């Protein structure tokens, strides 16, 4: 049975793609998310400069844009990370099932299991929206090798969670 680790969820930047498109009415999306994160060098109990890449799927999604049902995401970034805390900056791309894409820039701060994501969509669907309005994301990183955090470190992690922003009613 895997033990959940509170690893910097810098990859939660995906929520930046889901910010409201305008102030005229509630807009947004909420999705289940799962995927894999790769970190280099591996994260340990000591905070260190680390680069990461991420790929995953968003499904199912509920959105005010009724054409959005799912998506895929790729992202990369870097920051000072450890198995318990950290902060990072990066960019990512969401490709929606309707053929649209959202490119995002983001920064993250993590304290234990709490991840705060701030960013904006820089191009594509939802472009120009701030991702600080109603953004919520929770990711659980799981490993069966908890001892690795105190030894060689963790370089690949699977995750599942929920991400979203705005009102997906």
CB-based burial of residue 158 (10 Å sphere; 0-12 exposed, 13-18 middle, 19+ buried)?
Answer: middle
**What residues does 48 pair with on adjacent strands?**
81
The Cα–Cα gap between 63 and 61 comes to 6
Tokens found for residue 152? 């060689």
What tens digit of pLDDT does each residue of 67-88 get? Answer: 999 999 999 999 998 888 889 9
Read off the pLDDT band of 21 (50, 70, 90). very low
> Does position 15 have pLDDT exceeding 60, yes or no?
no
Report residue 156 CA to chain centroid gap. Answer: 15
What tens digit of pLDDT does each residue of 83-127 get? Answer: 888 899 989 898 999 999 888 788 877 765 556 666 777 777 766
Which of 129 and 131 is assigned the larger pLDDT?
Answer: 129
Phi, psi of 164 (to 5 degrees): 175, 175
> Does position 144 have pLDDT exceeding 70, yes or no?
no
Read off the pLDDT band of 135 (50, 70, 90). very low
Distances 13 to 41, 121, 169 between C-alpha atoms, Å: 20, 10, 22
CB-based burial of residue 135 (10 Å sphere; 0-12 exposed, 13-18 middle, 19+ buried)?
Answer: buried
| DSSP 8-state secondary structure symbol assigned to residue 2 | P
E-only strand ranges, the chain: 3-5, 28-43, 48-63, 71-81, 85-96, 101-111, 114-124, 136-143, 154-166
| Chain mean pLDDT for the chain | 74
Cα angle value 163/97/91 (rounded, 5°): 50
């Amino acid at each position: 049975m895997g033990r959940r680790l509170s690893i910097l969820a810098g990859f939660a930047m995906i929520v930046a793609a889901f910010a409201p498109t305008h102030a005229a009415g509630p807009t947004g999306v909420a999705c289940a998310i799962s995927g894999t994160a790769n970190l280099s060098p591996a994260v340990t109990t000591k905070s260190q400069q680390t680069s990461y890449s991420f790929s995953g799927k968003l499904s199912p999604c509920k959105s005010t844009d009724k054409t959005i049902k799912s998506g895929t995401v790729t992202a990369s970034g870097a920051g000072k990370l450890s198995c318990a805390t950290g902060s990072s900056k990066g960019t990512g791309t969401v490709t929606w099932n309707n053929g649209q894409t959202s490119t995002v820039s983001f920064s993250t701060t993590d304290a234990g299991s709490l991840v705060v994501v701030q960013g904006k969509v820089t191009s594509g669907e939802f472009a120009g929206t701030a991702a600080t309005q109603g953004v919520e994301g929770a990711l659980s990183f799981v490993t069966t090798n908890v001892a690795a955090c105190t030894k060689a470190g963790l370089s690949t992690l699977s995750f599942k969670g929920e991400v979203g922003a705005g009102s997906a009613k």
